[in-house]
């Protein structure tokens, strides 16, 4: 009986499988985190089962977080020292989502191509200056079935991503979310097509933002091919439309099915509280 109880306690304390892969979204305010705090944070992440850190971006608009000698590069070197594998994000335009709203047709194609060019430049700088061993690269420009609902636009995207991926030395990760504009079957087929390029495709489960009803989200998830991973949102959005984004931590909805799983984001996990601010 005593050994049985000990086994039960061990199972309760085992790290969640989804925390093997964690997204980290760098923000300028994280520059205030001390080297000792970073070290403790990465140690705690590994202790919780963390194996891969997916860094959402390494440049956001005009900010490169200090470049190769800045706080972000230093913290990621410490993450590597603590045993975490890195998937490093590239360039993100702060106006990306606004531009998607404003553009269509050839204008959208040209804009997306230009942003891929910015990410390629960032990739080259990271390779030349940051000297960080990485397992993959992450493209921060999230895809959705609203702005890419047109089959011709999806075909153009396919060609652009194929050409971009050929210039990288490690696997490319991208993510997408559902806005209810494509049927679950068509959405799943689209993401499968992107994965067939050799991309690591992630679908955001939408549980944190709550834009779609739970049964609708479930329908999209069930239509995903197994090779598409799922990002489990570990937050609940509390801000309303038109307000600055605010969210509270929440338990990610793990499934344990055939899909690889990751958690968004480290900032909302219990062991990051007191180190990474969510306000």
Domain of 248, CATH number, reads: 3.20.20
Report pLDDT for 12.
36
Is residue 13 situated within a structural domain? Answer: no
Residue 184 included in any domain = yes
- For 228, the domain range is 21-272
pLDDT band for 4, please (50, 70, 90 cuts). very low
Residue 83: inside a domain: yes
Please write the tens of the pLDDT for every residue from 47-102.
999 999 999 999 999 999 999 999 999 999 999 999 999 999 999 999 999 999 99
Provide mean pLDDT across the span 171-191.
98
pLDDT band at 16 (very low <50, low <70, confident <90, very high): very low
In a domain, 2, yes or no: no
Residue pLDDT, tens place only, 99-120: 999 988 889 999 999 999 999 9
Distance between CA 181 and CA 40 in Å, rounded?
Answer: 43
- The predicted model scores a pTM of 0.93
Q: Give a yes or no: residue 10 inside a domain.
A: no
Q: What is the pLDDT of residue 25?
A: 98
Please tell me the predicted confidence (pLDDT) of residue 18.
60
Residue 160 lies in a domain: yes
Number of domains the chain contains: 1
For residue 8, tell me if it sits in a domain: no
Check residue 17 and give its pLDDT: 52
Mean pLDDT for all residues in the chain: 92
């Amino acid at each position: 009986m005593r050994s049985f109880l000990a086994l039960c306690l061990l199972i309760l304390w085992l790290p969640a499988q989804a925390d093997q892969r964690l997204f980290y979204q760098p923000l300028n305010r994280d520059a205030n985190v001390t080297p000792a705090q970073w070290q403790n944070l990465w140690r705690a992440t590994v202790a919780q089962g963390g194996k891969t850190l997916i860094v959402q971006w390494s440049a956001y608009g005009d900010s490169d977080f200090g470049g190769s000698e800045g706080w972000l590069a230093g913290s990621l070197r410490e993450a590597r020292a603590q045993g975490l594998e890195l998937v490093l994000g590239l360039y993100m335009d702060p106006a990306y989502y606004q531009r998607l709203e404003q553009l269509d047709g050839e204008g959208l194609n040209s804009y997306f191509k230009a942003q891929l060019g910015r990410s390629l430049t960032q990739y080259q700088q990271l390779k030349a200056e940051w000297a960080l061993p990485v397992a993959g690269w992450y493209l921060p420009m999230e895809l959705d079935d609203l702005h890419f609902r047109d089959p011709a636009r999806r075909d153009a995207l396919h060609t652009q991503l194929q050409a971009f991926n050929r210039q990288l030395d490690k696997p490319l990760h991208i993510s997408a979310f559902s806005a209810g504009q494509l049927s679950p079957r068509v959405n799943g087929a689209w993401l499968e097509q992107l994965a067939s390029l050799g991309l690591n495709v992630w679908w955001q489960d939408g549980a944190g933002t709550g834009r779609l009803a739970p049964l609708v989200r479930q329908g999209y998830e069930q239509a995903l091919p197994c090779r598409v991973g799922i990002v489990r949102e570990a937050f609940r959005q509390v801000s309303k439309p038109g307000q600055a984004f605010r969210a509270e931590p929440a338990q990610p909805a793990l499934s344990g099915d055939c899909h690889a799983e990751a958690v968004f984001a480290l900032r909302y996990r219990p062991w990051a509280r007191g180190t990474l601010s969510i306000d």
